Amino acid sequence: MDLGLTSKRALVLSSSRGLGLSVAQAIAAEGADVVMTGRDGDKLKSEVDAINAQGAGTAYGIVADLSDPATPKTLVAQSREKLGGIDILVNNTGGPPPGAMYQADVDVVRKQYEVMVLRVMELAGLVIPEMRERQWGRVLTIASSGVIQPIPNLGLSNAIRASLVGWSKSMANELSGEGLTFNMLLPGRIETDRLKQLDAANAERTGRDVAAVSEAAKADIPAGRYGRTDEFGSVGAFLVSERASYISGSQIRCDGGAIRSV
């Protein structure tokens, strides 16, 4: 199926590795041009070069740190210079440190909220006007299954990411009639460096080895395994495509059935 992404222009945040990278790869494979961001310039260049070697969409890399308040305006301006415009925005931010919610430090909460929520809102506000002018745009926000079913020992992530649910749905209510869609993609346990870190932290917290933690987690997933990044990326590419034009205001799960609610 042709997703209709040829020559579309996408800005994918935090895409030098993990979930963001998987979506950038999938979008570019469908013919879209992509600006990828990350803090590690060498890693970013390596992934950009790998995508460009495939010969489909063109990838560009911009080193960017979302903890810097100046980043949104600078990043959007640089992306427009490279792409000529932005049709697709994929919001993706790193997760906060694990831990119990009642033990969260207020300063850490404030800093994480600024990066994970306020930067996302500001970036969207900067690109939406041109999407409205074209009567076409896609804003996809990568969050976590924890916004539906809170994840133990990830209290800060559960709380902060949940605020984006109301934001994304409100934007969909306001702008879906103008050819824009706003959706959230909720990963379960996908095999990334972040997941390895969380399994290691869980092992240390519970006094088990990492392999035991991993096997127990897989046993609790109906699919019986962790997800692959390419599986996640494919869902992301579809949601920002022409073919997903009637999906807006939704929270799409990519979790192997792990969320127990209907």
How confident is the prediction along the chain (262 residues), in pLDDT tens digits per residue? Answer: 999 999 999 999 999 999 999 999 999 999 999 999 999 999 999 999 999 999 999 999 999 999 999 999 999 999 999 999 999 999 999 889 899 999 999 999 999 999 999 999 999 999 999 999 999 999 999 999 999 999 999 999 999 999 999 999 999 999 999 999 999 999 999 999 889 998 998 898 889 999 999 999 999 999 999 999 999 999 999 999 999 999 999 999 999 999 999 8
DSSP string, 18-42: HHHHHHHHHHHHTT-EEEEEES-HH
Q: Choose among 35, 248, 255, 34: nearest CA to 141.
A: 248
pLDDT at 159: 96
Residue type, 99: G
Q: Which domains does the chain have, with CATH numbers?
A: 9-191+231-253 (3.40.50.720), 193-226 (no CATH)
Q: Choose among 241, 171, 181: nearest CA to 27.
A: 241
Question: In degrees rounded to 5, what are phi and psi of residue 112?
Answer: -65, -40
Does the predicted TM-score (pTM) go above 0.85?
A: yes
pLDDT at 131: 99
- Residue spans of beta strands (DSSP E) within 29-113: 33-38, 59-63, 88-91
pLDDT at 94: 86
Q: Confirm if 226 and 189 have CB atoms less than 8 A apart.
A: yes
Task: Tell me the β-bridge partners of 37.
Answer: 62
